[in-house]
Amino acid sequence: MTDSGGAREESSVAGTSRRDAVLESALGVFARYGYRRTSMEEVARTARISRPGLYFLFESKESLFRAAVTQALERDLAAAERLLADQGTPLRERVLGAFDRWAGRYVGPLSNDVSGVIEQNPDLLGAIVVTAPDRFEALVTKAVEDGPFPETATSVVRTLISVSVGLKHQVETRQEYRDRLAVAIDLLVG
Amino acid sequence: MTDSGGAREESSVAGTSRRDAVLESALGVFARYGYRRTSMEEVARTARISRPGLYFLFESKESLFRAAVTQALERDLAAAERLLADQGTPLRERVLGAFDRWAGRYVGPLSNDVSGVIEQNPDLLGAIVVTAPDRFEALVTKAVEDGPFPETATSVVRTLISVSVGLKHQVETRQEYRDRLAVAIDLLVG
DNA sequence: ACTATACAAACTAGGCGAAACTTGTAAAGT
DNA sequence: ACTTTACAAGTTTCGCCTAGTTTGTATAGT
């Protein structure tokens, strides 16, 4: 458990480090092939880095996976928060945008493998995967409470989340997901 | 394709034949162990019939499975229809009852295997599994159209079906499924 | 309208060793 | 702050085989 938690700063642009770039491409590979079937070799090749170099950045395959998932979750959560906060657009559209961003990535092809790893390592990677959906729910609920029916916000958002989960199993394309979720939002968010 | 389609009548009580009883217990076994891992031997034993006798009733394992699934679907559809037609109880409760009956069986442990067989034999067993959900949707939509907002009935029911699918993946118990679906129905069905 | 017994053909499971691949680390280099 | 090359230990995959199970049918019986 060394993984680097200390201060590391130099090279590249302000907020985005080399590390972050590797994390991003690694997530793409994990999402495409699943955790078990992606090798560090493949991740390294995709990130245009050597495999030992990858081990220099991340202690192990597991810690790399954990970091990649965590980063994606945090980023999508932040994006959802930003979309929801924009008072310029109507509530319905803000909520739709937040779900689209959140579910598009989090419930995507990645989720199968995330849940697979969770089942086998309940302790590892566990915290973020449980808390992130809760945080998303809280965010959306807060936004809906500023709408016309604050008292039903909790139920409405819970129901919308169920719709979102269901749609992921029913539809083929992201566009269809958006369209049908928009209908549900129109019905549920006054 | 012999399977018996002609006129067969005698023994046992009016509507329920020996065949039906075998079908019912066969469904239980299939639901418990999945299609591949249940043997005709096991089905025969559970139905208290000899294995050759089972082959006398059903041409093959596949046709038995198809018949069992079809029977269950038709029965649950009929039950949903009956529940929805009862003008004595409020619309909300009728809709909840219909979903509970429908999703409880159809989306239950059986569904994994049904979809598995569908994937491998798209033609066989295909028709009923596609049409039955459509028929269920039509049934509920018709009932909701008699409610206060007939013009949104189609969207409302589609959304409720998504909620139902989502809940199946979110909740652990049938009771929790009922409770949360009831909340959604209250929000969506005026 | 079945039961009991039996059988061929097909499929499935389990074992097992060899080959291939993967992880994680080391060492030397730039 | 990495790269290249190299390597041990572990895991996965593969091919092949054998043994066991399962399907579907037949035959004789009640």
Q: How confident is the model at residue A1 (pLDDT cuts 50, 70, 90)?
A: very low
Contacts 24+ apart (CB under 8 A), B177-181: B177/B100, B177/B103, B177/B104, B178/B96, B178/B100, B180/A158, B180/A159, B180/A162, B181/B96, B181/B99, B181/B100
**Domain total in chain B:** 1
Q: Is the CB of A82 under 7 A from strand D?
A: no
Distance (Å) from CA A38 to C1' C19? 20
A136 domain-assigned: yes
- What does the block give as tokens for A30? 């994990």
Strand D and chain A: which residues 34-53 have CB closer than 7 Å? 37, 48-53
Q: Do A169 and B165 touch (CB under 8 A)?
A: yes
Q: How confident is the model at residue A95 (pLDDT cuts 50, 70, 90)?
A: very high
Q: Is the CB of A66 under 7 A from strand C?
A: no
Q: How confident is the model at residue A162 (pLDDT cuts 50, 70, 90)?
A: very high
* Rounded Cα gap, residues B163 and A169, in angstroms: 11
Domain that holds residue A130: 18-188
Q: What pLDDT does residue A3 have?
A: 41
At residue B183, what is the residue type?
A: V
Q: Do B162 and A162 touch (CB under 8 A)?
A: yes
Mean pLDDT of A178-187: 98
Which residues in chain B have their CB less than 8 angstroms from residue A164's CB?
A: 166
Q: Is the pLDDT of residue B17 over 90?
A: no
A85 domain-assigned: yes
| DSSP 8-class letter at B65 | H
Q: Which of A73-82, A84-93, B115-124 has the lowest mean pLDDT?
A: B115-124
B6 domain-assigned: no
Q: What pLDDT does residue B159 have?
A: 98
Q: Is the pLDDT of residue A11 over 60?
A: no
Which residues in chain A have their CB less than 8 angstroms from residue B183's CB?
A: 155, 158-159
- Find the CATH number of the domain harbouring B70: 1.10.357.10
Helix (H, G, I), strand (E, B) or coil at B26: helix
HEC states along chain A? Answer: CCCCCCCCCCCCCCCCCHHHHHHHHHHHHHHHHCCCCCCHHHHHHHCCCCHHHHHHHCCCHHHHHHHHHHHHHHHHHHHHHHHHHCCCCCHHHHHHHHHHHHHHHHCCCHHHHHHHHHHHCCCCCHHHHHHHHHHHHHHHHHHHCCCCCHHHHHHHHHHHHHHHHHHHHHCCCHHHHHHHHHHHHHHHCC
- Report phi then psi at A37, rounded to 5: -90, 10
Q: What pLDDT does residue A13 have?
A: 53
Q: Tokens 């050597």 map to which residue?
A: A50
Mean pLDDT of B28-43: 93
Q: Which of A107, A115, A163 to mutate to test the interface with B (most CBs of B within 10 A)?
A: A163
Q: What pLDDT does residue A23 have?
A: 96
pLDDT tens-digit series, residues A126-139 = 788 889 999 999 99
Q: Is the pLDDT of residue A2 over 50?
A: no
Which residues in chain A have their CB less than 8 angstroms from residue B170's CB?
A: 161-162, 165
Distance (Å) from CA A43 to C1' C18? 29
A11 domain-assigned: no
Q: Is the pLDDT of residue A167 over 50?
A: yes
Cα A73 to Cα A133, A136, B183, distances in angstroms: 9, 10, 29
B10 domain-assigned: no
| DSSP 8-class letter at B86 | -
Distance (Å) from CA B80 to C1' C9? 45
Better pLDDT: A152 or A123 = A152
Q: What pTM, to 2 d.p., does this model score? A: 0.88
Nearest nucleotide to A9 by CA–C1' distance?
A: D1
* Rounded Cα gap, residues A180 and B125, in angstroms: 28
Q: Which of A14-28, A163-177, B59-73 has the lowest mean pLDDT?
A: A14-28
Q: Mean of the per-residue pLDDT values for chain B?
A: 87
Q: Is the pLDDT of residue B13 over 80?
A: no
Q: How confident is the model at residue A173 (pLDDT cuts 50, 70, 90)?
A: confident
B8 domain-assigned: no
pLDDT tens-digit series, residues B63-110 = 999 999 999 999 999 999 999 999 999 999 999 999 999 986 655 556
Closest CA to B130 of B115, B146, B149, B109: B115
Q: Is the pLDDT of residue B11 over 50?
A: no
* Rounded Cα gap, residues B89 and B82, in angstroms: 12
Q: What pLDDT does residue B180 have?
A: 98
A9 domain-assigned: no
Q: Is the CB of A81 under 7 A from strand C?
A: no
Distance (Å) from CA B63 to C1' C4? 24
Q: Do A156 and B187 touch (CB under 8 A)?
A: yes
* Rounded Cα gap, residues A130 and A119, in angstroms: 13
B2 domain-assigned: no
Which residues in chain A have their CB less than 8 angstroms from residue B165's CB?
A: 165-167, 169-170
- What does the block give as tokens for B153? 């009935």
